[in-house]
Structure 1
Amino acid sequence: KPNVWAYFSVKSGGGIHEFADSQFGHVFAYGVSRAAAITNMSLALKEIQIRGEIHSNVDYTVDLLNASDFKENRIHTGWLDNRIAMRVQAERPPWYISVVGGALYKTITSNTDTVSEYVSYLVKGQIPPKHISLVHSTVSLNIEESKYTVSLTFL
Structure 2
Amino acid sequence: MALVLEHHPLPAAERRERVETGLRRMGLWDFRKALPKQLSGGMRQRVGIARALAVRPALLLLDEPLSALDAQTRELLMEDFLDLWRRERTTAVYVTHNLDEALRLADRVAVLSRRPGRLREIVAVEEPRDARQTPAAQLHLAEVRDRLWHLIRAEAQLADREIADA
TM-score exceeds 0.5: no
Q: TM-score, structure 2 length as denominator? A: 0.29
Q: Which has the higher contact order (CA 8 A, sep 6+)?
A: 2
Going by fraction, where is helix more abundant, 1 or 2? 2
More strand by share: 1
